[in-house]
Chains A and B, each alone.
Chain A
C-alpha cells in the first residue's frame, strides 16, 4: 500500500498545527517523520489513521482518498507513544481485541503466533500494569501487527525506553517491517533512530515538511542550516567563497581555507561537514584527501555504545565521530597534537540564497 498526503492542514483556533503537509511513501517503504516536539508529527499520524480530521488537504491510501472513511475501516496498525494498552485487559486480550471485533475465527492461533514472533509468549496472561516498558512496546507492536494492517504507524514508540532496549527493539521492528513488507510511517525526534530505520525521511518543523528525501540527501545534503542543525551536522561554519572555477572552489572560514567541489558564486556561504566525514591521519601517513589541518584534541566523550566524539581545535573547532578502537589505537586524548583530513566531496555548501 502506498500513502500520500497532499497539503494537509489542521488548526486549533488560531494555532496552526499542520500548515500544508505533503509527502509520499511507496509500497513497502519505511518513512521516518523526523522533527522536534510540537512540530505536528503526532497530529499527522492521527490524521492518517483517521482519528482526527484535517481542515483541508487529502490523505490517499493506495491512491484512494480516505476522507470520511472511519478509523476502524482504514486497516491501519497504530503504535502509540504511551503504548495505550487497555489496562483492564490481559496481554492476550489486548492483542486479541482487533481480531475479536473482526470476528476472526482463529484468534488464539494468531495471537500466539504473533506473540512468539515478538517474543512475549510468556506474558499473555499478565496485565499491562505488570510488565516492563520494553515488554509493553512489544505487546503494542503485536496488537498492531496481528490485524495484518496495510499501513503501520509508530508514534515515538521507543522514546521512553533505555538505550539497550531501544536498539534491540529497533532491530526487531525493522526485521518484521522488512519481512512483512508493510508500508510504515515512524515518528521520532531522534536522528540516530532515523538513520537506523529509514528508507525515506521527512523533516517536519512547525507544521511543515522542510525537507523530504533519502537518508543520504537529508544527512549529507541538507537544504538549510535548520535541517543541518537538526540532523546532527556538528560542523557548521559561516565562510566566504574566495576563489571558484569549474574544478572547484576555495572557501575561507575566518582564514581557514577549505577546498570544495563545484563552482560557487562569490559571497557568503554556510559550510556543513558531518562528524563521521572527518578522518584522523596516522602520524606516519600523508593525507590523500584535499583538505588537511593540524590541530589539538580539546575534548573526548563517548557517543553511543561503539563511538566517541572528539573535539579538535584546528583553526576552528571540529567535532568528529570515530569508532572506539580508533580512539584507543591512536591514543586520542585531550591535548594531543593531531592532523585531521577530509574529502572535498564530503563537504556540503549552502549558498546564502538557500541557507
Chain B
C-alpha cells in the first residue's frame, strides 16, 4: 500500500509513535535497568520469593486444568444445545472477563466465606472454610479464567461445519465418537489458544486472589507487598519472571493462532 504523505498526518503519527514508545517500552526498560542481575540467583532462593513462585505455578496450573474441564463442557452446551435461558447462561459465563477483579474477589467472599451463602453451611457441617487457603486462590483464578476457555472453545465448536457432525452421525458414529473424532480434533487449536490465554491470565491474577488469599502470596501479590514495603530487589526479580512467562505465552498463542489461519 502506498499512501500520499500529508504533513499534518505525518506529524501526528510521529507524536503518537513517540508516546507509544514512552508508554509501552519505557516501563520495561526501567525494570531491566534496575534488576541486580548478579544477585538474581541468590534472590530467587529467598524463601518468600521461592514460595510465591511455587504457589503461583501450582495454583495457575491447577486452575487452568479445572477451567479446561469446566470450560469445555460449558462451551459444548452453549454451542450445541438449545434450551431456555441459554442467553443468560452465556452472559453469566462471560461476565467474569469484564468484572473488576476486586469485585469478583469480594463476591467470592460473600459466597464461600465463613459466613457466606455456601461457606456458612459448609463451616457448620465440617468446621472448615476454604477461604484464605491455596484452594481459595485456585477458586478465584478459576472464576476469572474459565470464561477464556469457554469463549475460545465455543467459537471453535461453532466454526465446525455442522454437516461434518451430521455426516459422522449418518455413518454410524455415536456422540462420544463424534466428540473424539470430529469435534475435538477440529477445534484443537482454538481450545489450545484459549487455554494458553487462561494460564497467562491465571499466573497474573491479582485483584480477585488478593481478596481471598489471606496471608498467602502468589507472584503478583508478592510484587504488591514487596513494593509497598520497599524491598525492590525482590519485586524486580518477580516482575521479570512474570514478564518472561507472559511473553512466552503470547508467543505460543500467536504461533497457534497464526497456524490456524
- Does B bind A? yes
Q: Which A positions have Cβ atoms within 8 angstroms of B?
A: 46, 49-51, 70-74, 76-78, 80, 82, 84, 86-88, 97-98, 101-102, 143-144, 147
Q: List residues of chain A with CB within 8 A of the CB of B161.
A: 82, 84
Q: What's the least CB distance linking A191 to chain B, in Å?
A: 26
In the complex, are the beta carbons of B167 and A80 less than 8 A apart?
Answer: yes
Q: How far does the alpha carbon of A101 sit from the alpha carbon of B168 in the complex, in Å?
A: 9
11 A-B pairs besides A86-B181, A86-B182 with CB distance below 8 A are A50-B169, A51-B166, A72-B173, A80-B166, A84-B164, A84-B166, A87-B186, A88-B186, A97-B173, A98-B172, A101-B171
Q: Which of B163, B166, B167 has the most CB of A within 10 A?
A: B167
Q: Is B174 an interface residue (CB 8 A)?
A: yes
Q: In chain B, residues 130-164, which have Cβ atoms closer than 8 Å to a Cβ of chain A?
A: 161, 163-164
In the complex, are the beta carbons of A72 and B182 less than 8 A apart?
Answer: no
Q: What's the least CB distance linking A209 to chain B, in Å?
A: 23
Q: How far does the alpha carbon of A97 sit from the alpha carbon of B169 in the complex, in Å?
A: 11
Which A-B residue pairs are the 10 nearest by beta carbons?
A: A98-B171, A84-B163, A71-B169, A78-B170, A51-B166, A84-B167, A101-B172, A72-B172, A101-B173, A80-B163
Q: Kindly report which residue of chain B lies nearest to residue A81, judged by CB atoms.
A: B163
Q: List residues of chain B with CB within 8 A of the CB of A147.
A: 171-172
Q: How far does the alpha carbon of A51 sit from the alpha carbon of B168 in the complex, in Å?
A: 10
Q: What's the least CB distance linking A33 to chain B, in Å?
A: 17
Q: List residues of chain B with CB within 8 A of the CB of A74.
A: 170
Q: How far does the alpha carbon of A163 sit from the alpha carbon of B174 in the complex, in Å?
A: 38
In the complex, are the beta carbons of A77 and B177 less than 8 A apart?
Answer: no
In the complex, are the beta carbons of A72 and B163 less than 8 A apart?
Answer: no
Q: How far does the alpha carbon of A74 sit from the alpha carbon of B171 in the complex, in Å?
A: 9
Q: Kindly report which residue of chain A lies nearest to residue B182, judged by CB atoms.
A: A86
Q: List residues of chain B with CB within 8 A of the CB of A143.
A: 167, 171
Interface string of B237-251 (1 = CB under 8 A from A): 000000000000000
Q: Is B185 an interface residue (CB 8 A)?
A: yes
Q: How far does the alpha carbon of A144 sit from the alpha carbon of B170 in the complex, in Å?
A: 9
Q: List residues of chain A with CB within 8 A of the CB of B169.
A: 50-51, 70-72
Say which residue of A76, A87, A102 sits within 8 Å of B170 (CB atoms): A76
In the complex, are the beta carbons of A102 and B172 less than 8 A apart?
Answer: yes
Given contacts A86-B182, A88-B185, contact A77 B170 (CB under 8 A): yes
